[in-house]
Chains A and B, each alone.
Chain A
Amino acid sequence: DTGVSQDPRHKITKRGQNVTFRCDPISEHNRLYWYRQTLGQGPEFLTYFQNEAQLEKSRLLSDRFSAERPKGSFSTLEIQRTEQGDSAMYLCASSSSGARHEQYFGPGTRLTVT
C-alpha cells in the first residue's frame, strides 16, 4: 500500500500530557498538510509543508502545537500540555508538486484527552 499512513491510529491521553503523531506521505509527494476534524465539521487546516519548509501555519494553531518535517519525508505533529478541547481526529494529507494541489488523506489519528 503506497498511500498516506499515520501512526498511531488511536491515542488516549490524560490532560496535561504531551503527544506526538507521525505521518508518512505518498513517497513522491513533496507537499504535506495537517488538519484537525471534530464531529460534524469538515477538516480544519493546521499547517502546510513544502519539502522540509513549513510555509503556512493556521493562526488557530496555538503555541502548544508544533509540526516538523525534518528531511522532507515524514512529518510529526506534537501537542504539548494537552487539553480536553484537543480531542479530535488529526488528519494528514499529501500532494504532488503539480498545480492542482489534489490532496490524498491518511486514515487519521483519533486523539482522546481525558
Chain B
Amino acid sequence: RKEVEQDPGPFNVPEGATVAFNCTYSNSASQSFFWYRQDCRKEPKLLMSVYSSGNEDGRFTAQLNRASQYISLLIRDSKLSDSATYLCVCGDFNKFYFGSGTKLNVKP
C-alpha cells in the first residue's frame, strides 16, 4: 500500500467553480502535511502547509482529519492559472511521502 493515496483525476472544471481534492495517508505518526502544485515539467512549488485546525490562504482551504487520516484541499472560484497537478505530502520529521498527484484542468 502506498504511504499517500490521491485520486489522479483529471478534474475538469469551468472557471469560477469550486473543486475539492482529498488525500489519505497510512502512517498515523505523520507530523507534517502540505499541498504542493506542480506544473508540467516543472518542480513542485509549495502551495500551503496543512494545520490541525485547518487553514485558509485566499481561495485555498486545507483541512486535516487525523482520526480518518486524510487531508483535503478546497479551491474556490477556480482560475485558468490553477490548472496544474496538486501533490499531497505527509512526513514524520526526516522523511516525506508525496502522493502521485491530482490533475486539475480549469476550462474557460
Residues of A bordering B, CB below 8 Å? 33, 35, 40-45, 48, 50, 55-56, 58, 91, 100-108
Contact = CB atoms under 8 A, between A and B. Distances in A.
Interface string B90-108: 0101111111110000000
B77 to A, nearest CB: 25
B23 to A, nearest CB: 10
B27 to A, nearest CB: 12
B98 A44 contact: yes
Chain B residues touching A, range: 20 to 34
Contact of A100 (B44, B49, B94): B49
Contacts of A104: 46
Contacts of A101: 32, 91, 93, 96
B100 A41 contact: yes
Given A41-B100, A48-B94, A102 B43 contact: no
27 contacts: A33-B96, A35-B98, A40-B100, A41-B100, A42-B98, A42-B101, A43-B44, A45-B96, A45-B97, A50-B94, A55-B94, A56-B94, A56-B95, A91-B44, A100-B32, A101-B32, A101-B91, A101-B93, A101-B96, A102-B34, A102-B46, A103-B34, A104-B46, A105-B43, A106-B43, A107-B42, A108-B43
